[in-house]
Amino acid sequence: MQQTKLNMRTRLFSLLFLYLLFFVNQAFALLEVDITGGFKSATPIAVVPFSWSQSGKAPVDIASVISSDLTRSGVFSPLSFNRLPERPKMDGAINFPRWKNTEAENLVIGQVVAIGQGRYDVKFKMLDIYTGRNSLEFQYNVTRKDLRRVAHQISDKIFQELTRSRGAFDTLIAYVVVNNDVNADKRVFTLAVADSDGYNEQIILKSRKPIMSPAWSPNGKRLAYVSFEKNRSIVYMQELKSGKRKTIAQFKGINSAPVWSPDGKRLAMTLSKDGNSEIYVMYTASGVLQRITNHYGIDTEPAWSPDGRSLIFTSDRAGKPQIYQIAISQQGRAGSPKRLTYEGDYNAGASFSPDGKSLVFITRERGSFRVATLELATRYLQVLTHSQLDESPSFSPNGKMILYATELRGRGILEAIAVDGSNSPQRLRVLSGDVREPAWSPYRSR
């Protein structure tokens, strides 16, 4: 086991080194994937290192990116490269009897060809080892900076073909990093966006003051967030491509918890301008504001249902924080709040699954704050984690994973866990500082 771990580290460090060499002008983040165990019942799959048209190493080791993606999904366990019986080329012969001696049922082969002017031709195919038939075959023509993205798109195709569920590898995550110096004046808060595997980190905002609550627009082109750069909470909306930013809410009191409506036209958020924390909906183009809640208790953490016809939110109107739902129309509030959670004395920070059938939120269980799901039809509440200080849970765009922030040995890290429970979570952390408030992007347009 130790040997496996070391090999994996060595391999990944060399990957990282490559990454630094080639992407040094684009990003400032490195990754270490530390795999300390194997998935016993994940489906074995063979991903052969892609052939490369020139001498030396290809700019991106596409097969390694695909293998890491498939491993992280928890659904597949790619054979390690040194256990492959042969390394067939895209158009070469395949010795199927040798492949039948491996555990793999499917074989992925590909190539990268430099075609000049900084462009690359990437081809891959997947074969069923038992029938010898092609199940997938695709070709891409891209620049170097899009090679990793192509690898994630190939992972999505493989995932979709073999599980019949859409893959979520070609997605982004937004998160906040803070170097939590004891001296508040020395803290630096960073809002960043990275690929779903943590690579290609891009900084969106850096500040000496807290940054909170990043939220993706449904088209994936904007983030709304809360920044304290003027010494109080103000809601901003920022276009990722241009960096252009707009102040959305800087009313007296709290301006927080922005979330986009599914139609992309409205932001639900929490404002305390009228006395205490209430939920409002704002049309971002016109600034028209609709007040949704009206209660002396705290109402906050709104989240839209996927159909856009209701909001769920946290309220302590019954004494302790619980999740409520209220109907919403284009004109604003369209009903009375209905309580959804009854188990436990602390349920907060809820959001919907993409199919609208479940919620994920933070529940307090014996003094610990943990990720839980509630199946709306059956009212079945399942606690998914065993940690103490979980926060900010949300579903992946395909609804298969839940991403959340937690604390491990004094450090803020991100974890991802499968929706049905008990696997060890995958971990993402920064070398120096705490990472928190992850927000998984919607599917990206191709």
Partner 1 sequence: MSTFLNSFFKNNSAKKLSILLIIAPFVFLTACSTTSDDSEGDDSGADVTVEDRTGDGSYEGQTGGYNDSGMSDGTSINGQSQSGDPLSDPDSPLSVRTIYFEYDSITINSEGQSALNAHAEYLSLNPNQTLVLEGHTDERGTREYNLSLGERRAKAVADFLTASGVQGQQLEVRSYGEENPVALDHSESAWQLNRRVEILY
- Residues within window 376-435 making contact with partner 1, judged by CB under 8 A: 388-389, 391-392, 407, 410, 413, 418, 420-424, 426-433, 435
Residue from 10, 53, 95, 247 touching partner 1 (CB under 8 A): that is 247
Calculate ∠ Cα 188-190-192, nearest 5°. 165
Cα–Cα distance measured from residue 313 to residue 319, given in angstroms and rounded to the nearest whole number: 15
* Dist. CA 162–CA 128, nearest whole Å: 11
Please list, in sequence order, all residues whose beta carbon lies within 8 angstroms of the beta carbon of residue 321, skipping any fewer than 6 positions away. Answer: 298, 314, 315, 346, 347, 348
Please identify, using beta-carbon distances, which residue of 20 and 334 lies nearer to partner 1: 20
Q: Quick one: how far is CA 82 from the chain centroid?
A: 31
CB neighbours of 242 closer than 8 A, spacing ≥ 6? none
Out of 87, 119, 206, 379, the residue judged to bind partner 1 by CB under 8 A: 206
Residue tagged 């750069």 (tokens): 229
Interacting residue with partner 1 among 125, 209, 291, 295 (CB under 8 A): 209
Nearest to 144, CA basis, from 123, 120, 124? 120
**DSSP per-residue string spanning 48-112:** PPPEESSSS--SS-HHHHHHHHHHHTSSEEEPPGGG-S----TTS---HHHHHTSS-SEEEEEEE
Touching partner 1, residues 66-95 (CB under 8 A): 71-72, 74-75
CB of 68 to partner 1, least distance (A): 9
> Cα separation of 201 and 196, whole Å?
10
Residue linked to tokens 């799901």? 373
CB 79 within 8 A of CB 45: yes
Q: Does 240 bind partner 1 (CB under 8 A)?
A: yes
DSSP H or E run through 201: none
CB 424 within 8 A of CB 415: no
Rounded CA gap, 319 and 323, in Å? 12
Q: Which of 243, 331, 377, 378 binds partner 1 (CB under 8 A)?
A: 243
* 59, 198, 397, 399: which one binds partner 1 (CB under 8 A): 198
- Give the one residue of 158, 195, 282, 353 binding partner 1; rule: CB under 8 A: 195
Nearer to partner 1, 238 or 261 (CB): 238
Cβ proximity to partner 1, 86 vs 420, nearer residue: 420
| Rounded Cα–Cα distance for residues 4 and 109 (Å) | 24
Does 104 interact with partner 1 (rule: CB under 8 A)?
no
Within residues 255-284, the interface with partner 1 by CB under 8 A covers 256-257, 270, 272, 276-277
Of the ranges 49-57, 188-196, 304-312, 332-340, which one interacts with partner 1 (CB under 8 A)? 188-196
Of 33-52, binders to partner 1 (CB under 8 A) are 33-42
Least CB distance from residue 102 to partner 1, whole Å?
19
Please say which residue, 109 or 267, places its beta carbon nearer to partner 1: 267
In contact, 85 and 101? CB cutoff 8 Å: yes
Question: Pick from 348, 371, 374, 439: which binds partner 1 (CB under 8 A)?
Answer: 348
25 binds partner 1 (CB under 8 A): yes
Confirm if 107 and 161 have CB atoms less than 8 A apart: no
Shortest separation between residue 363's beta carbon and partner 1, angstroms? 10
Q: Rule CB under 8 A: which of 285-324 touch partner 1?
A: 298, 300-301, 314, 316, 321
- Nearest distance from C-beta of residue 65 to partner 1, angstroms: 13
Compute CA distances 345 → 319, 339, 365, 417, whole Å. Answer: 9, 13, 9, 24
161 contacts partner 1 (rule: CB under 8 A): no
Judged by CB under 8 A, the chain residues 115 through 144 that form the site for partner 1 are none
Q: Name residue 347's beta-bridge partners.
A: 363
CB of 116 to partner 1, least distance (A): 20
Q: Could you say whether residue 6 binds partner 1 (CB under 8 A)?
A: no
Number of shown-chain residues binding partner 1 (CB under 8 A): 116
Three-state SS at 290: strand
Contact flag: residue 160 with partner 1 (CB under 8 A): no
CA 175 to chain centre: 9
* Binding status of residue 369 toward partner 1 by CB under 8 A: yes
Shortest spacing between CB 163 and partner 1, in angstroms: 6
Question: Is residue 193 within the footprint of partner 1 (CB under 8 A)?
Answer: yes
